Structure 1
């Protein structure tokens, strides 16, 4: 392989923000992107990687290229005539008070609130539910532009100590700070270089957390991270003295997590090589001489300890139960051959939680929530009556709780808080937001369409009542399709702009997700990944056949793994949609495992090194490698961020470089690179509004639609 640095220096003069590539039919002045003659060999096949140099996020050449691309993109976006009206309407919509469910810690109830356009929600507290609220911690004071966010919080059991993690610019690398809840003053040093971790308190003496060593070579943004470790930090001591509890051994790909049972007797340790399947360990903290006990020693299934009653452990698992079950065992004999069902598997996916001495079973029924309440022996006590058809969250709390607070939401039902009486099962409205729209103007339906292989796939469709099915409704098709992630009904403030201006929103629950358990997930992984793309393509075809949209009025969208979905769909079926929005996507399927924690995604994707069959399969759909010369692709706005250390921006950089080189026709193919932002979590409201205004405006403009924007005063 040639020396990339020398090649880039020699060719950097080719980078220009104004010269249009030869052969382009588009009138846009795309920046030319230098090529290098890098070639990788897989099973005897040479694979060129001409844009490898864009993987170096620290180079001046990459910085110049990013600036040049953004100049072209924002010049285009800012010239869309109605974009400012879209942005204004989004600001109007977001400007409402949003409260989040309260939780009791010590003498206080803590809750988050956003007054409307605050970049980050503020953590408040009050003594008793009728007490006067006071600000406990305001992340908006961390920085003026809101790019430093709270990335995790944890109270000690008595509520006297509060640990929180902060993320700068959306990075996955975090800092941990502990404060005294009475004085609000920091205690001890700031812990640094924490990644993929929470804070698990053990009394007030210390806590457990996980992290990696920083990459020894390469960029902190894109450098590969290995050997995740679990540490114990004793309060009052420097981080350099923290004791390693678990990890750092011969398994470099493991992610290590930890938490304590409510009585703080047991430390539970999970170890995973990917986002699916984990080992399970436990340590009895009541015995200083106890060793770590292995419960599960493989990555074949998912398991977590719900809680304990003395030596009795309650474990949720999908071992021999793809839709999950709750089992019990004794700490003396905790391995799976000794497990007994408490709540058996059913046809619906189960997720369990605990509060007030009761077990709550959240069942996913065709992607919608149903909740049942059981006693601790597994006897059904009642079906919880929810406010409607949608998604409920928050049925968890301490053993001594008599009531809890949960949220309920749906596509046209803003996230609303209810109090729930555990003894009577009564739900009472606690807090409902006032949003500037009328939900009665909209309807939601769930349809089941047929994919390429005959599989029935559910899809939610949301729109204004009374729309005409004439094929001319701007339609936004969004999906994910991977890593056992389930897309359930939820409210989006920004989506209102699309809906109130005659748009249709469609959300299919395609394979690869967790909506129907592990079998549904596995059917969209590795050598079956094409099922995911086929399901998504079939969703678009259903919308067109049913006259919601036509090819000229369809936009396809997805983020992260969903960005891969959009990239694969638009390269396989460039005729399907008019507009494509691949966001922070995994686009280079041959090299994704070389960056940060990408190796952990191999359970869903496989790697190019696994076998020739796996290489051929990945190469056959990898978006970077399947852009064809002379093909007219949809109007495309790729979105990524300069601080994304989950899916590094090089994926998007290489994809758009190839697309701009080979695409023909007048549809713009652009990349929007957000600065001081990461994979999405903690994004300030101002950046969210700006990006959504750009996305919706780009879609309408390229569909030839002028949105009425009747709500805007501009």
Structure 2
């Protein structure tokens, strides 16, 4: 008997058994299919899960319950899931304080003692007596009603604040007398995508849409924005329409009263890029005067000085510049340059009657202080390489506040003396995390077309490049949004457990200005996915990690990024987390404010070429039988009325139906939550405990070190 042959045969048989086990899909909850087709330029597209778009139907609700039970049962078997959750809670439990801001005779600031569901607004008077002014934890029993926006009038005797229930973009506005904390007028309802801007003691401006007549409140199309003025002492039904509606149809309208209370500014837009700007001289009671019309550029008013207006714009300056004009003739032909365009994209803040120019160089902030003539006062010395927020204040301020952070440095708030340029620490977060134990390095890699892309890679010191390090590759790549370094408790826990966190600054973002952004829109959108894929390949080629230990993560437009990447390159990573993603690219514009994203994406009705391009990468439409996709957790929320959950429902159902191996496809649906903002600490911790533990478990890790 040839024992060697028998051993070889048994080894082969064993290999076949293991292989076949890996090809056996899990038994997922049943998802019915219907016969439904849409026709685009003569091409029929099947949509068997169209019924899941109705988030209010009993069928959808029952399907959600089945998927929740399936997901919960799978996650329950991860042995260290509770351990990860406890690690997150322990590290999260530190006091968090915001920079203070003075309104009237009080100084206000936000504070969270550690694990409070929502932040609490405190105030301190001139005698040093501190009290709770507004505790949003008392808005609801579960901590799922959050404070969206708050606005005080100039004297500080009135405040209006908006609240979101369950994360919805539909808000309510409540008005309080700040002395008595008693409510004034009835609560204003059905407010969406709105600023709140006061005019003296009279009242305030706000924006909203009519409630959708077709579809549910959460998914129905919202298209024509309206600006109203609410006069104190009157009902919402009496509020005066200022701009918008059928006579002036725009998808987005935002109203602001300037600090001197002289001007009303309204920005009007139909997409997330490009806007018109209108100004009304309230002192001289003029009609609205157009500063710029059309949607070819972006313009915002950043300051006024009597008749002079200061505008930040990318018109004739893709990286933006500051210009000056006057109320008598504010159109572009009169603009005079104050701070010219540079090689780095410019953002601008004002305080103490100075301009603070925040430039971004390779996704890291640089700050310069200028006077009103555009003369450089000084380069602001920052604590290190990272990102800052702040440098905003009133004209009479002598000191401003700013915060500094990066991937391994918890947020620290500094007080900045405007005349001397000296900074001192105002508040340092006392989080149990030592930046000295970690490394955050920036590298540059080459995308498929030769474009150089920066990427920041953060990890614990001592990690060796063995190719076996659990790695999260996080990206966004859209809407001119820049991913700048910031500290996160979630990322800290990932790194503490031996993980690497990598963030490439891919095209579609704003890291290198308008040209970088435009290189990732419409029929250039695949540049974004190729940049992300190249980032993963760089990490694997340089032995930071390997396919077996890589997870892809992104939310919203980043959810699209992950969905497109995992369907284009299912072999790139072991795990994928498409979060609240735009995943049906043929129908995204049919829901809520989705039509406003057309600058980035284009729509399937634009042209045959645009339809074919969208279809070629739309995650929902590129899932194929016979393919082994990564272990996937599709993440969404039941109150997401920004990117409706139907995207995730349909994508998850299609993945479950066509997955051709053992890698699980889970659909995690958060209850009483929206697109992301306003979630309670408990919701955030629970989601990220599931995310981290699922990633590590699917990478083959059985217990934590």
Whether contact under 8 Å (1:119, 1:140) holds in the other structure is: yes
> How does 1:212-361 map onto structure 2 within 5 Å?
212-249=209-246, 252-288=249-285, 290-361=286-357
Partner of 2:59: 61
Q: CA deviation at 1:155?
A: 0.8
Partner of 1:99: 97
Mapped partners of 2:545, 2:216: distance in 1:
44
Partner of 2:493: 497
**Which secondary structure does the structure 2 equivalent of 1:61 belong to?**
helix
Mapped partners of 1:411, 1:26: distance in 2:
40
Q: CA deviation at 1:26?
A: 4.1
Mapped partners of 2:348, 2:626: distance in 1:
52
Q: How many residues matched?
A: 685
Q: CA deviation at 1:494?
A: 1.4
Cα distance per residue 1:191-218 (max 9 Å; x no partner):
0000000101111111000000001122
Please, which moves more after superposition, 445-454 or 243-252? 243-252
Q: CA deviation at 1:322?
A: 0.4
Partner of 2:395: 399
Mapped partners of 2:510, 2:405: distance in 1:
19
Whether contact under 8 Å (2:250, 2:268) holds in the other structure is: no
Aligned counterpart in structure 1 of residue 43 of structure 2, from 42, 45, 70 = 45
Q: CA deviation at 1:180?
A: 1.1
TM-score (norm 2): 0.96
Cα distance per residue 1:656-686 (max 9 Å; x no partner):
1110011111100110000000000000000
> How does 1:98-177 map onto structure 2 within 5 Å?
98-128=96-126, 131-177=128-174
Partner of 1:679: 675
Q: CA deviation at 1:78?
A: 1.3
1:615 and 2:611 are equivalent in the alignment: yes
Mapped partners of 2:331, 2:265: distance in 1:
14
Q: CA deviation at 1:131?
A: 1.9
Query: CA, structure 1 residues 250+607, in 2 after alignment: closer, same or farther (shift >3 Å)?
Result: farther
Mapped partners of 1:248, 1:301: distance in 2:
23
Mapped partners of 2:454, 2:240: distance in 1:
49
For structure 2, which runs of at least 5 residues remain unmatched after alignment?
1-20
Whether contact under 8 Å (1:476, 1:506) holds in the other structure is: yes
For structure 1, which runs of at least 5 residues remain unmatched after alignment?
1-22, 710-714
Partner of 1:4: none
Whether contact under 8 Å (2:560, 2:619) holds in the other structure is: yes
1:202 and 2:199 are equivalent in the alignment: yes
Please, which moves more after superposition, 406-415 or 616-625? 406-415
Q: CA deviation at 1:25?
A: 4.4
**Which secondary structure does the structure 1 equivalent of 2:676 belong to?**
coil
Mapped partners of 1:133, 1:406: distance in 2:
22
Whether contact under 8 Å (1:501, 1:707) holds in the other structure is: no
Please, which moves more after superposition, 62-71 or 698-707? 698-707
Partner of 2:446: 450
Partner of 1:190: 187
Mapped partners of 1:489, 1:25: distance in 2:
40
Q: CA deviation at 1:29?
A: 2.7
Cα distance per residue 1:307-342 (max 9 Å; x no partner):
111111000000000000000001111000110110
Mapped partners of 1:433, 1:53: distance in 2:
48
**Which secondary structure does the structure 1 equivalent of 2:350 belong to?**
strand
Partner of 1:73: 71
Mapped partners of 1:468, 1:309: distance in 2:
57
Partner of 1:32: 30
Mapped partners of 2:249, 2:81: distance in 1:
47
Partner of 1:86: 84
**Which secondary structure does the structure 1 equivalent of 2:562 belong to?**
helix
Partner of 1:485: 481
Q: CA deviation at 1:439?
A: 1.0
Mapped partners of 1:220, 1:251: distance in 2:
23
Whether contact under 8 Å (1:253, 1:600) holds in the other structure is: no
Q: CA deviation at 1:249?
A: 2.9
Mapped partners of 2:88, 2:622: distance in 1:
36
Query: CA, structure 1 residues 707+430, in 2 after alignment: closer, same or farther (shift >3 Å)?
Result: farther
Whether contact under 8 Å (1:272, 1:278) holds in the other structure is: yes
Q: CA deviation at 1:184?
A: 1.0
Query: CA, structure 1 residues 95+570, in 2 after alignment: closer, same or farther (shift >3 Å)?
Result: same
Partner of 1:16: none
Whether contact under 8 Å (2:272, 2:479) holds in the other structure is: yes
Mapped partners of 1:459, 1:47: distance in 2:
38
**Which secondary structure does the structure 1 equivalent of 2:212 belong to?**
coil
Mapped partners of 2:601, 2:128: distance in 1:
51
Q: What's the RMSD between the two structures over aligned residues?
A: 1.1
Whether contact under 8 Å (1:153, 1:199) holds in the other structure is: yes
Whether contact under 8 Å (1:629, 1:663) holds in the other structure is: yes
Whether contact under 8 Å (1:483, 1:521) holds in the other structure is: yes
Please, which moves more after superposition, 544-553 or 27-36? 27-36
Partner of 2:623: 627
Partner of 1:664: 660
Query: CA, structure 1 residues 500+480, in 2 after alignment: closer, same or farther (shift >3 Å)?
Result: same
Mapped partners of 1:701, 1:95: distance in 2:
26
Whether contact under 8 Å (1:29, 1:72) holds in the other structure is: no
Partner of 1:535: 531
Mapped partners of 1:250, 1:668: distance in 2:
51
Partner of 1:423: 419
Q: CA deviation at 1:706?
A: 3.8
Partner of 1:654: 650
**Which secondary structure does the structure 2 equivalent of 1:220 belong to?**
coil
Partner of 1:590: 586
Mapped partners of 2:258, 2:240: distance in 1:
21
